[in-house]
Structure 1
Amino acid sequence: MTVELNHTVVYARDKRASAEFLAEVLGLEVGAPFGPFVPVDTGNGVTLDYYDAGDTDFLPGHYAFLVPDEEFDTMIGRLERMRVTYFADPSHQEPGQINRLFGGRGAYFSDPDGHNMEIITRPYGRP
């Protein structure tokens, strides 16, 4: 049996703004609203459904995106143009740097709601 992640809900203070932020960084499109959600579809069939949390507190999540190596520099350029600081590490201690884990490149950045976003060009090794 094959199991695949189909969609996940991403809590936001402003679902439209947060969806547009991610779509701009990754070079994706924001989809038409679907019920209470504003979707961003990824290339592997997974949808991030942005949802307004209202006054409800939520813990920021971590979302990692495997991106084509040839698009990585373009995405870093978008972050720079948007004046969003990126980091080489998940704890955001190495600003303006990227990592080179597992023979690829990677960077972390925060979205408008404090979610820790990650772009990587190679999947992390598994034992």
Structure 2
Amino acid sequence: MSGTLDHVMIRVEDLEESLDWYTTHLGYEEKGRWEADTFTNVYLGPEDLHEEGAVLELTYNHGDNTYEMGDAWGHIAVRVPEDELESSYQQLMDEGVEDYRDPESCGGRYAFVKDPDGHEVEIVKRDHGAKWSLDHTMIRVEDADEALGFWTRKFGYEHTGRWESDTFANYFMKPEGAAEEAMAVELTYNYDGRSYEMGDAWGHLAVSADDLHDYWETLMEREADDYRDPESCDDMFAFTKDPDGHEIEVIPADFESPE
């Protein structure tokens, strides 16, 4: 489906350690790999990934690199069955995963762990999707109206849920008609007017396009940021940015990483 979120990219300092963590603890398998001269991208997901499900892209830049986490992006979230939050969390604890925020401290609704690079991984209860599949990616925005308008007008996304509290609001967005199993983007808006540091430990979100050039032309007609057009990316993909500077990649639905 055109516009569905295809993957979320995070940068890692030790590729083998990160691969071991995600394959051991979440049961992920390698879905694809791109070996370049200066970096390696590995795409991971559960074995029974839904056709509209998103994958996790681990980017390893060759050499001794460190990254700043920043606070403009928050976390990825993975699914477990409704009645398996506590047992799934305990399984991770038994396997030696860092005890960050247990279910009890989160009111029994969700929990958090961290991967070897400190990326936060939320565990959420869902009655759909493969266990440990990606449910959403949370990014923080400084102007909720502007961010909601961006995803609605530029990408044709719609609300699939919201949570408004005394101090913040979460808005979940997906393309109209997307499957329940598709990953959502969670826009978090804190009411206190704070600003955020982007950091470089998180890279981007990526959406899938039936036709890269037609999709890009539509984005330009809707006045999206012309950050890296298809021509500048060898007509393989393209990038725009949201109002807060979060990068959004556009890739063709039949995209295959170069070998």
TM-score (structure 2 length as normaliser): 0.38
Gaps (5+ residues) in structure 2?
Answer: 127-134, 136-159, 164-259
Any idea what SS the aligned residue of 1:48 has? strand
Shift of 1:68: 1.9
After TM superposition, list the pairs within 5 Å mapping 1:1-127 onto structure 2: 3-31=3-31, 33-35=33-35, 36-42=40-46, 43-44=49-50, 45-53=53-61, 54-59=64-69, 61-84=74-97, 85-88=99-102, 97-100=104-107, 105-122=109-126, 125-126=161-162
Contact 1:26 1:75 in 2 (8 A): no
- Tell me by how many angstroms 1:108 deviates: 0.6
Q: Give the whole-Å Cα distance in 2 for the aligned partners of 1:86 and 1:57.
A: 20
Q: Within 2, Cα distance between the matches of 1:24 and 1:75?
A: 13
1:48 corresponds to which letter in structure 2?
Answer: L
Change (3 A) 1:39 1:2: closer
Kindly state the Cα deviation for residue 71 of structure 1 after the two structures are TM-superposed.
Answer: 4.1
Task: Determine the C-alpha separation between the residues in 2 that align with 1:2 and 1:32.
Answer: 20
**Alpha-carbon offset, residue 16 of structure 1:** 2.7
Structure 2 distance, partners of 1:68, 1:27, is 15
Give the secondary structure class of the aligned counterpart of 2:20.
helix
**Contact 2:13–2:66 (CA under 8 A) maintained in structure 1:** no
Following the alignment from structure 1 to structure 2, what is the Cα–Cα distance between the partners of residues 67 and 78? 12
Tell whether the 8 Å contact from 1:11 to 1:58 is kept in structure 2 after alignment.
no
With over 3 angstroms needed to count, the CA separation of the structure-2 counterparts of 1:55 and 1:47, relative to structure 1, is same
Q: 1:9 to 1:121 in 2, by over 3 A?
A: same
Unpaired runs of 5+ residues, structure 1, are: 89-95
Give the Cα–Cα distance (whole angstroms) in 2 for the partners of residues 119 and 33 of structure 1. Answer: 26
Letter in 1 for 2:90: G
Which of the two has higher C-alpha Rg?
A: 2
Instruction: Measure, in 1, the Cα distance between the counterparts of 2:101 and 2:27.
Output: 19
Structure-2 change in CA distance of 1:69 and 1:23 (3 Å): farther
Q: Deviations over 1:9-64 (max 9, x none)?
A: 11001123213312332233244533321221253421111111441423265111
In the TM superposition, residue 3 of structure 1 has moved relative to its aligned partner by: 2.4
Task: Select the structure that is richer in strand.
Answer: 2
Distance 1:71 1:39, change over 3 A: farther
TM-score (norm 1): 0.70
Once the two structures are superposed, residues 41-99 of structure 1 have per-residue CA deviations (whole angstroms, 9 ceiling, x without a partner) of 253421111111441423265111232224434421331112221314xxxxxxx7352
Question: C-alpha displacement at 1:2, in angstroms?
Answer: 5.4
In the comparison of the two structures, how many residue pairs are matched? 117
1:86 partner SS = coil
Q: Calculate the aligned-residue CA RMSD, in Å.
A: 3.0
